[in-house]
Structure 1
Amino acid sequence: MALIHRVDPTANPGEIIPGLPDLPAVDVTGWGMPPKHALSTDLSKPVPVIAAAVAAARARDWRPAADLLNRSYGDWAMRAAAVHALGAAAADDGTWLEAWRTATGDDRHTAVVDAHGLFWLAWKLRGNKPDEYTSPQQQDAFHQTVLRSEAAALHATKLAPEDPTPWCTLITMARARSYDQNTFGSLWNELQARDPLHRAGHDFAMMYLAPESPGSHESLFAFAERAAAASPSLAFLIVQAAYAAEDYDEKIWRDARVNRALDVMLHRLVTPSGGVDASSDRRWAAYGLVSADRGAQAVPLFAQLGTDASGRPWEDFGDNAIDVFDSYRRRACVATGNR
Structure 2
Amino acid sequence: MAFLSSRRRRARLAPELDDEALGKLLKSLLAITRTGTIATTDLCLAQMSRLLNQDTGGWDRRTHRLSVLADYLSESHLASAWATREPHDASAHVLHAWTQLTRGRSRGRLEDAAAVTETCFRAADLAPEDPTPWVVLLGVSRLERWEQPQVYGVWNEVLARDRWNREAYLSMLAYLTPEESGSRLQVLEFVDALSARMPANAACAATELTAQVLQYHAVVARGGLEALVARNHWSQASAARALERAVHSWVQPAFLRHAAALADLNLLAYALMAAERRREARPVFEALGGTVTAWPWRVDGDPVSEFAQAQSRAAAVL
Mean Cα deviation higher: 49-58 or 218-227:
49-58
TM-fit CA distance, 1:323: 3.5
The amino acid across from 1:57 in the alignment is L
Cα pair 2:250 2:265 within 8 Å, conserved:
no
Cα pair 1:115 1:169 within 8 Å, conserved:
yes
Q: Would you say 1:231 and 2:199 are equivalent positions?
A: yes
Aligned to 2:60: 77
Q: Unpaired runs of 5+ in structure 1?
A: 1-28, 127-138
Across the aligned residues of Structure 1 and Structure 2, the Cα RMSD in angstroms comes to 3.0
Shift of the 330–64 alpha-carbon distance from structure 1 to 2, 3 Å rule, reads same
Aligned to 1:26: none
Q: Would you say 1:265 and 2:246 are equivalent positions?
A: yes
Which of these residues, 187, 192, 195, is aligned with residue 159 of structure 2? 192
The amino acid across from 2:98 in the alignment is H
The amino acid across from 1:55 in the alignment is K
TM-fit CA distance, 1:223: 0.9
Encode CA deviations 1:231-250: one digit per residue, 9 max, x unaligned.
21233211111112113374
Shift of the 65–333 alpha-carbon distance from structure 1 to 2, 3 Å rule, reads same
Which of these residues, 72, 89, 111, is aligned with residue 107 of structure 1? 89
For residues 151-230 of structure 1, what are the structure 2 equivalents within 5 Å?
151-212=118-179, 217-229=184-196, 230=198
Alignment coverage as a number of residue pairs: 289
For residues 17-96 of structure 1, what are the structure 2 equivalents within 5 Å?
31-32=3-4, 39-58=11-30, 59=32, 60=40, 61-72=44-55, 75-95=58-78
Describe the SS at the equivalent of 1:43: coil
Q: TM-score, normalised by structure 2?
A: 0.79
The amino acid across from 1:271 in the alignment is P
Cα pair 2:75 2:103 within 8 Å, conserved:
yes
Shift of the 147–333 alpha-carbon distance from structure 1 to 2, 3 Å rule, reads farther
Question: Partners in 1 of 2:303 and 2:293 — Cα distance?
Answer: 8
Aligned to 1:241: 211
Aligned to 1:7: none
The amino acid across from 2:245 in the alignment is V
Cα pair 1:286 1:301 within 8 Å, conserved:
yes
Encode CA deviations 1:255-310: one digit per residue, 9 max, x unaligned.
33333333332313211673412112201211121122222211222233234222
Cα pair 1:235 1:264 within 8 Å, conserved:
no
TM-fit CA distance, 1:38: 5.3
Question: Partners in 2 of 1:287 and 1:146 — Cα distance?
Answer: 35
The amino acid across from 2:134 in the alignment is W
TM-fit CA distance, 1:202: 0.3
Percent identity at matched positions?
Answer: 22
Question: Partners in 2 of 1:47 and 1:203 — Cα distance?
Answer: 21
TM-fit CA distance, 1:333: 3.1
Question: Partners in 1 of 2:212 and 2:111 — Cα distance?
Answer: 33
Aligned to 1:21: none
The amino acid across from 2:21 in the alignment is V
Aligned to 1:296: 279
Q: TM-score, normalised by structure 1?
A: 0.74
Shift of the 264–180 alpha-carbon distance from structure 1 to 2, 3 Å rule, reads same
Cα pair 1:174 1:208 within 8 Å, conserved:
no
Which of these residues, 118, 143, 147, is aligned with residue 110 of structure 2? 143
Aligned to 1:136: none
Cα pair 2:297 2:303 within 8 Å, conserved:
yes
Question: Partners in 2 of 1:168 and 1:146 — Cα distance?
Answer: 15
Shift of the 252–33 alpha-carbon distance from structure 1 to 2, 3 Å rule, reads farther
Aligned to 2:264: 281
The amino acid across from 1:185 in the alignment is Y
Cα pair 1:118 1:148 within 8 Å, conserved:
no
Structure of higher RCO (CA pairs closer than 8 Å, 6+ residues apart)? 1
Cα pair 2:265 2:284 within 8 Å, conserved:
yes
Aligned to 2:235: 254
For residues 304-315 of structure 1, what are the structure 2 equivalents within 5 Å?
304-315=287-298
The amino acid across from 2:95 in the alignment is V
Shift of the 197–38 alpha-carbon distance from structure 1 to 2, 3 Å rule, reads same
Cα pair 1:40 1:308 within 8 Å, conserved:
yes
TM-fit CA distance, 1:332: 2.7
Cα pair 2:79 2:99 within 8 Å, conserved:
no
Question: Partners in 1 of 2:5 and 2:267 — Cα distance?
Answer: 18
Describe the SS at the equivalent of 2:129: coil
Q: Would you say 1:323 and 2:293 are equivalent positions?
A: no
Describe the SS at the equivalent of 2:13: coil
